[in-house]
Structure 1
Amino acid sequence: MSIPVLRPAAAVESTPDGVATSLPGRAHDARIEARHDARHDAAHDRVRRHRLALIARGRRARLAATVAVVFALVGLNVADHVLEWDTMWLGPLGAVALLAFARWQGLTWHQLGLARHTHARGIRWGLGVIAVVGAVYLVGILLPSTRTAFLDVRYHLPPAGALLTAFVMIPVGTILLEEVAFRSVLWGFLSRHARMWQVVLGSSLLFGLWHVLPAMASATGNAAIGSAVAGLGPFAKVAVVGGTVIFTALGGVLAGELRRRSGSLFASVGMHWATNALGVLFGVLAWRLAA
């Protein structure tokens, strides 16, 4: 008579809901769950890599747009000072084109310093700067030792011509384009790559380099500058250009700080108008006093 072999029954474990489940069955379920988790992790990794690729692509696109703005500024500078295109139409057209490109690239009016809620604050800052610069210029022309700095032959104008230059030609032909270019559009693009202090310094350095070409004529146009570099001989023009770049870059830092503190382009516009246009108006007074 054969003796039956007793096989051990599969271990049974009760689940929390009272349903009995064998241990081999639970191991099978664990393997299925592990495969599901692996597929989920792989899908999540693909999504993460896709997002990183999109971020990198967006950064490259923003960098390309910033470089395009810089090259556009170079072209505008050459058109103005080499090709001698009329700035009375080049300035407004260039400013509108730069703003349109910036908006197309996704920059907001706030990033461009032109948000409506910042207008009043920017105008207050601008008027304050105009008052300060006017006071400094007044002292400058009253002192004989500094009066020669205002004797620029380009602005030896009759009163009507000086008013036209100060209130029409300089704002439309110079300030509009330069402020939109450096403290609005370029500022907005740089702010997507750099910290604020880097934006101020970067835009100011480019603003200084923007004045290389117009600085070429400064040695012959301004008596004070011409006499200051007269002893440098062939290096006179280099000194004038270098000094102009440094001076205007520092002015760009001050204008950028006004733009940063006020959040408005109008603050730096006020400073720009004061230093340029008031220079013309006080230059007329300086020529009269010198005569």
Structure 2
Amino acid sequence: MGRRPDRRTHRGAGRCASRRAARRPPRRTAAGGRGPRRGGHPVTPASGRRHRHLAPAPTGPLDAHVVVRRGAWTLDAVLGVPAGTVLAVLGPNGGGKSTAVAALAGLVPLDGGHVRLGDRTLAEAATGVDVPPERRRLGVVLQDVLLVPHLTARENVAFGRRAAGERAADARHHADRLLTSLAVDAHARTRAHRLSGGQAQRVALARALAVEPAALLLDEPFAALDAPGRATARDVVHRYVRTAGVPAVLVTHTLADALAVADDVAVVEHGRVVQRGAPRDVAAAPATAYVAGLVAALDARPGAAA
């Protein structure tokens, strides 16, 4: 019979190896930090994912025919937007503006039509294609600003980039730049539930831009802002659309927003597009009483004649 191995010897060797491993310094990552490695790439300790920089999403023109039925009411709107331009969608309450944005974002299923962005089909009723909202890579701001209440403004803005695997320091740096551009950087460390309505709206806009989306879908993103904040936010949106070359849909109740930001205007009433054209052309020849009222409100503003 062979000699049985001494278990005590094996246990003692294991303890010695553990002590040596505990004393061994952690390996330095490629980025200069310390941490575990997988396949030669640094990984995040919590998730095990490789660190990577979030690249801009592939984009192109937005080609959308949105059909949504709710009982006797139907939204049937064609909303095409060339890349690098802004389409402002105006209309009375209940006309279908917010429903259109929700359908484009994938939050409301299509009953007909399609949503295509560049060479990607995001939704198509006839074939059953319906890409989940989180995989559409869209920057969305809804009327109800849904920030994570216990996170700070900076953490809310950085969240999407961190979820995609970007290093925390890089995501925070990107978030800080956006918060600064929207003049809300003084509240970077403020938890979301302590922000005012206007501050929260600017943080939500920064969060939508932070993921470098393939398109922007903005539902009343300037509504809670004062005049200086509105002007700043308009400029940030306009600059991003032009620089990134993405299409944007901007829902608004004011013709002033359309004139300041948009290349084209679509007026939606009773679920249909009743007028479309360049903002100044729509203002010069309103097709409905609603549009005429918008023009009158614009003309009545102090300093409008100048």
Bigger proportion of residues as strand: 2
- Fold in common (TM above 0.5): no
Compute the TM-score of the two structures, normalised by the length of structure 2: 0.25
- Scaled by the length of structure 1, what TM-score is found? 0.26
**Whose helix fraction is larger, Structure 1's or Structure 2's?**
1
